[in-house]
Structure 1
Amino acid sequence: MMAQASGEVEAKLRRSGLRPTRQRVALAALLFAKGDRHLTVEELHEEAVAADVPVSLATVYNTLHQFTEAGMIRVLAVESNKTYFDTNVSDHHHFFVEGRNEVLDIPVSNIEIGNLPAPPEGMEISHVDVVIRLRPKAD
């Protein structure tokens, strides 16, 4: 079963134009094994260490950015000091739960965006990210 999953991960990397190195395959397998989710470099590194995948934090950082450039994941900046990587690359928006550092998907059909400004000459809008910040209600 693991070999099949590994083969699927290798194929996904190749389709994205990336060479399936041992570290990329291991990190992609961890990243995509749990379905759509949002995680930081540090969180994926912790998962890799727990799974006995020998990678440095810098390697995880570089690999996630390679996956982003290849269109496999999206970057989601919700705080100035923390970047999340989103395995769901479809158009959708997010709730961010302050204090818990939790990111939740909002289906794109739940938000209507209009009256966007015209982009500067020679530019086009690639996508719009909406982040709605939440906090527990005060009693």
Structure 2
Amino acid sequence: MHTEQRLVEWLARGGLRPTRQRIALASLLVGDGEHRHVTAEGLYAAAAGTADKVSLATVYNTLRAFCDAGLMNEVVVDGSRSYFDTRLDDHPHFYWEDTGALTDAPAAQLKIAELPAAPEGAEIARVDVVIRLKKA
């Protein structure tokens, strides 16, 4: 299947119109079929090297739209840094403090025995596990 058609279908799964900016950013995120963990700033820098120029505000707004549409997840590693993950299944992450990289951790090795009950009127939407690493 043609790459642009795959991107249009990916956007349609989230109920999003295939605008020029969304297609350009989706191409960088999922165009090759690989999963990615990106920051908005990193995606903006990658987009700067393409013919489709987008503003940093557009990158932030588009990433938020992709998350709201269920096409990707936001992983917050601290109060000032968010990564956007194209892999949607439940899985833990390693955050490499020395380099600022976020990578997938082996889910099969993680055992969560029990979660606290959600407060009345709420339900658990997702559990994010971020394991912070530094050089020994």
Shift of the alpha carbon at 1:51?
A: 1.4
What is the TM-score with the length of structure 2 in the denominator?
A: 0.94
The equivalent residue for 1:89 is: 88
Q: Deviations over 1:65-96 (max 9, x none)?
A: 00000011100010221110001011001011
The equivalent residue for 1:115 is: 114
Shift of the alpha carbon at 1:61?
A: 0.3
Where in structure 1 do 4 or more consecutive aligned residues deviate above 3 Å? none
Matches within 5 A, 1:27-106: 27-34=25-32, 35-106=34-105
User: Superposition RMSD on alpha carbons, in Å?
Assistant: 1.2
| Alpha-carbon separation, structure 1, partners of 2:18 and 2:82 | 24
The equivalent residue for 1:20 is: 18
User: For this pair of structures, how many residues does the alignment match?
Assistant: 135
Shift of the alpha carbon at 1:106?
A: 1.4
What is the TM-score with the length of structure 1 in the denominator?
A: 0.92
Shift of the alpha carbon at 1:115?
A: 2.1
- The 3-state SS of whatever aligns with 2:105 is strand
Are the counterparts in 1 of residues 25 and 47 from structure 2 also a CA contact under 8 Å? yes
Unaligned 5+ segments in structure 1 are: none
Are the counterparts in 1 of residues 7 and 31 from structure 2 also a CA contact under 8 Å? no
Could you tell me which amino acid in structure 2 is paired with residue 60 of structure 1?
V
- Say which of 2, 5, 14 aligns to 2:3: 5
- The 3-state SS of whatever aligns with 1:90 is coil
